Structure 1
Amino acid sequence: MIRRFTSLNDWFMTLAGWQRYGVAFVLGFLTAASMAPYYVLPFLVTGFSGLVWLMDNAVRHQRPGKVAFWTGCWFAFGYFCLSLYWMAFSFIVHAEGPGHLIMLSVLGFGGVFGLAAFISVFYGLTLLVAKRFWQAGWARVLVLAIAWSLAEYARGHLFTGLPWNLTGQAFAGLAVLSQPVAWIGTYGLGFIILIASALPAACVPADREAMPSKISPMPLAAAAGMVLVICIAGAIRLAGANVSMADNIRVQIVQPNILQRDKINYDLWVDNFWANLNLSGGVEAQAPEDGQLYVIWPENAAYSYFQRDPSALDVLQDRLPANAVLMAGGTRYDAVGPDLYDYFNSLLILSRSPLPGEETPAIDQMESETPWSVRRAYDKHHLAPFGEYVPLAGLLQATGVGNIVPIGQPFTPGAGPETIDLGLARMSPVICYETIFPGRLYPRGDRPDFLVTITNDAWYGDSNGPRQHFDISRLRAIESGLPMARSANTGISAMIDPYGRIVKKLPLYERGVINSQLPGAIPPTIYHYTSDFVYFILLAITALWVITSYNVGVRSQPSA
């Protein structure tokens, strides 16, 4: 095996020019295939070990900084081309004919590739810095892991953040592998995965001719040991994972499976509203008389009907029992002037009786004879750029892009995360894009009993996007130690327990409902208390070790 490693390493050292960058792109592309729906986890080793050897190649070059920068950029560009391609589908939904379809396809995929190129710069810059501390032995693996992880953290926070397909998300498909996020978070798990994935490259030192005695299978064994430790830790945690179910609470998750073209068709809005309502209630969803039924509709299922049409409230009377609480995605608006409104992407909470602590209903119900009322409204606070607001909208309109992509009235962000008392349980709402941000699900010091996530992934068709979004939800449940009820318009809807395990699920593009008891929360996780602090401690200790070894002369960088 070591002979094969050395032969492959020799080939990497011969790469030059665009051949080098082409290999970097392919390796990045393959690394992204470790995520849903492919889960080809060995590609993590192929990608990051290959990137170590590409950096070994770069530091031999006469202009190592330039080569390291572009190597990082091309690797990351390949990674994000596969990770984010599905975003382009949201443009295509607006197509009204073949010519328009072509124009929007070019614009959509051009925008996605442009975004991928922009994000890739973060990784190019961190590898440019990493080149300065590159060493011949095991330490260069740690240097790469630190560089990639810092770039990951930066793109998750700068410019509103896009922490999509973080390295730690590769393990989300298997509950036993993803349990460490309860202690160190997704960034921390990703850092460990990075080290384990890149370690096999250290079987061959960067300067093999000068250090022939350093060729060893030990880094490969160390990588396998790290993965084994993750498996054992996860298995131990799940071995004692007995989750109780609330006897007095039933949850009904509605998945109407409305295609996006129909969902945005104004003429079909009434039909779409009834599609959700007709799936709600029923014998299987009955809760005890002294209990509650929580019915959850997906994002923007109710539009603004509950605010502007009292008959929308009246029809709930016949469909839902008296002890039901309806949580429906909808649009809410506030008048801020004559014919001037602020619009909010909201989760509307409706019931027949006032909620604990309620003083006045959240929305003026006009004239309705039913006791049903919108008691609370949570407004999405982290809006999706280009989906719910458009950065530089004036510039886009001036350049003509606004004539192609409907910009319209942007949404107004809400105040922030909330915890809402429903009577028998307290919940925190999370709307679509907000799910992708670790540690931002509920207010600090106000932990709920469960999470409610509503989303509309129909924008992205039968692609990687909805499946990866679902995996992200599972990680949020593990991080918080809270069960999550997830309602998605076209799927994937599910009841997820506080260990990230699927209690019940509806797959993509299937109309139906999930009827389930509510899993109980477990005690707060370490991540609940520390957030990303443990991750930064791991990062700092590793960086200190690398810097120390560099300063005492361990580095052995090949000459040009």
Structure 2
Amino acid sequence: MPLLNTLLNWLRAPGWPGHLLALLAGALSTLALSPFGLWPLGLLSVALLFQGLQQLQPGQAALRGWFWGLGLFASGVSWVYISIHVHGYASPILAGLLTAGFVAGLALVIALMAWLWARWLRPTGNPWLACWGFAALWVLQEVFRGWFLTGFPWLYHGYGHTDTWLAGWAPLGGVWLLSFLSVLSACLLSEPGLWRSIRSASTGTALLLVIWLGGMGLSTLEWTQPTGSPLSVALIQADIPQSRKWDPDHIDQTLTLYRDLSIALAPVDLILWPETAVPVLQSQALAFTNGMAARLAEQGTTLITGIPVDEYDNDVLQIYNGIMVAGQQDEQYLKHKLVPFGEYVPLEEVLRGLIAFFDLPMSSFTRGPAVQQPLKAAGYRLAPFICYEAVYPHFAARLAAQSELLITISNDSWFGRSIGPLQHLQMARMRAMESGRWMIRGTNNGVTALIDHRGRITQRIPQFEQAVLTGEVQPRTGLTPYLHWPDWPLWLVVLACLAGCAVKRQRARRIAPATRK
């Protein structure tokens, strides 16, 4: 107990001991996510930050939040180093500095949240409102992080509950509702003022039971309905090394591999190749893709593949990261959410050519239109997402609402043997849960998987293996509440909580001078 009291005193007081504890607490949140799945540590992580901000002045609170964010992002997105060093050809020192800058920049978002809490929102004398308000501010922080400078919607707290009872709430409010409920739970459990009386403790217990048992009950409901017969599908995981993917000397071998693996299959309704599986511009690859489409069509199979799409706009060549239904040039989708530096270079006129990392192959893609239609294949509408796009909740929901199936293609070779691909898979599972639709997920080297409408993986291929996954998916129709209303109900709750905190804080400030007089 003396040690625990000492740690709590450090956590609540300004100074370096508390900041270092916040750093460790932030790292605990990563352990709540895939591949670790230790979700109670996520609750502990948030509770430690919440308690650590209770008495700090705004400046110290911002620093405390920055250290917590540093722990989260340094542990959770360390795979960025692999992308920069191994595939971006940056030296270990340069890659380390760039990764550190990226992590430190992301942590500023948590610092801003903590500063806002201490400066304008933290209510005094009302632990109930404090818990609700902090959960609301947390959601606002996650939404902001997914939007600012094109966004980095990674490591959302709600993803840690993909396999807990809270998952039942996903069709109602998506990953942000799960974040809200999880953070609210952590704050309630850690707030001693709520557990000092029988009445308050009973209310807190009842609220927690509603949150967690309610999620369990909701998970039994079917929000969407099957439509038509199941589709037989085959997903090709070719496991092409990133170093060879764009090498002109290996392009023929790559195309031959995809051709042979596909032709050797028994007839299926749909074959999926991953992101830029065809490493040739669409205009130059039409003979190959049309030939494959015609050959597979003889056995009733439709081919969908990732491919760079080249088009001219006012005589200016534009190249898009695309996905197409082979043999049907009007059935294609052009990626809208591009990865900075991997697919386009911000401030290109300044940065291009400075170091090899700013000259990666195919890092000059053009952004596709924000509003596009689903792909039509095998008699159904498919919501297409290319790699990074599947991690944007609201963006994915719009296309999902118009479709019977979700389809995502990716090339997670950039992440190497890190936790990045498994985090990416977890986010794809959440998109299936939010929409109540099956997801077909094809990748170059893993994780290739079929995910049902409840977010459960029904089949998968191990990473870093050349293999073919065959199985069935069930198209579904109908809208979950999240697809019908998106985030509006949650936003009303968030804004009400934040307004309540701001009003309470201002009243306390007006009363304090009068009390001193």
TM > 0.5 fold call: yes
Question: Which position in structure 2 is the counterpart of 1:370?
Answer: none
Question: Which position in structure 1 is the counterpart of 2:275?
Answer: 299
Q: Which amino acid aligns with 1:184?
A: G
Alignment size in residue pairs:
507
Question: Which position in structure 1 is the counterpart of 2:105?
Answer: 118
Question: Which position in structure 1 is the counterpart of 2:380?
Answer: 425
Question: Which position in structure 1 is the counterpart of 2:92?
Answer: 105
After superposition, residues 356-375 of structure 1 pair within 5 angstroms as 362=329, 375=330
Question: Which position in structure 2 is the counterpart of 1:266?
Answer: 248
* 1-structure distance, mates of 2:302, 2:420: 30
1:528 Cα deviation (Å)? Answer: 0.7
1:233 to 214, 230, 244: 214
1:446 Cα deviation (Å)? Answer: 6.5
Compared CA separation, residues 312 and 191, structure 1 to 2 (3 A): closer
Compared CA separation, residues 431 and 128, structure 1 to 2 (3 A): same
Unmatched runs of 5 consecutive residues or more in structure 1 = 59-63, 206-213, 288-292, 352-360, 363-374
* 1:343 equivalent in alignment to 2:319: yes
For residues 162-189 of structure 1, give each alpha carbon's deviation from its aligned partner in whole angstroms, at most 9, with x where no partner exists.
Answer: 11111111112x1743231211121122
* 1-structure distance, mates of 2:279, 2:203: 54
Compared CA separation, residues 23 and 331, structure 1 to 2 (3 A): same
* 2-structure distance, mates of 1:527, 1:195: 20
Please give the secondary structure, in 2, of the residue aligned with 1:331. strand
1:198 Cα deviation (Å)? Answer: 2.2
* 1:36 equivalent in alignment to 2:34: yes
1:299 Cα deviation (Å)? Answer: 0.2
Question: Which position in structure 2 is the counterpart of 1:74?
Answer: 67
**Relative to structure 2, which stretch is displaced further, 451-460 or 520-529?**
520-529
Task: Note the aligned Cα RMSD (angstroms).
Answer: 3.2
* 2-structure distance, mates of 1:302, 1:227: 51
After superposition, residues 25-174 of structure 1 pair within 5 angstroms as 25-58=23-56, 64-94=57-87, 103-132=90-119, 133-134=121-122, 135-138=124-127, 139-172=129-162, 174=163
* 1:188 equivalent in alignment to 2:164: no
* 2-structure distance, mates of 1:344, 1:336: 12
1:238 Cα deviation (Å)? Answer: 3.8
CA contact (8 A) 2:27 2:71 kept: yes
Q: Which amino acid aligns with 1:429?
A: P
* 1-structure distance, mates of 2:225, 2:212: 21
* 1-structure distance, mates of 2:400, 2:71: 41
CA contact (8 A) 2:11 2:22 kept: no
CA contact (8 A) 2:400 2:435 kept: no
1 or 2, which has the higher helix percentage? 2
Compared CA separation, residues 478 and 312, structure 1 to 2 (3 A): closer
Compared CA separation, residues 114 and 276, structure 1 to 2 (3 A): same
Please give the secondary structure, in 2, of the residue aligned with 1:302. coil
1:16 Cα deviation (Å)? Answer: 4.3
* 2-structure distance, mates of 1:141, 1:442: 29
For residues 131-186 of structure 1, give each alpha carbon's deviation from its aligned partner in whole angstroms, at most 9, with x where no partner exists.
Answer: 133324523333332333222111111111111111111112x1743231211121
1:396 Cα deviation (Å)? Answer: 1.4
* 1:519 equivalent in alignment to 2:460: no
Question: Which position in structure 2 is the counterpart of 1:354?
Answer: none
* 2-structure distance, mates of 1:216, 1:88: 50
Compared CA separation, residues 330 and 219, structure 1 to 2 (3 A): farther
Compared CA separation, residues 110 and 223, structure 1 to 2 (3 A): farther
Compared CA separation, residues 189 and 446, structure 1 to 2 (3 A): closer
* 1:394 equivalent in alignment to 2:349: yes
Larger radius of gyration: 1
After superposition, residues 536-555 of structure 1 pair within 5 angstroms as 536-550=491-505, 553=508
* 2-structure distance, mates of 1:175, 1:449: 26
CA contact (8 A) 1:197 1:223 kept: no
Question: Which position in structure 1 is the counterpart of 2:307?
Answer: 330
State the percentage of identical aligned residues.
23
* 1-structure distance, mates of 2:45, 2:199: 19
Normalization by structure 1: what TM-score?
0.82
1:68 Cα deviation (Å)? Answer: 0.8
Unmatched runs of 5 consecutive residues or more in structure 2 = 513-517
* 2-structure distance, mates of 1:393, 1:261: 23
Please give the secondary structure, in 2, of the residue aligned with 1:247. coil
Compared CA separation, residues 239 and 149, structure 1 to 2 (3 A): closer
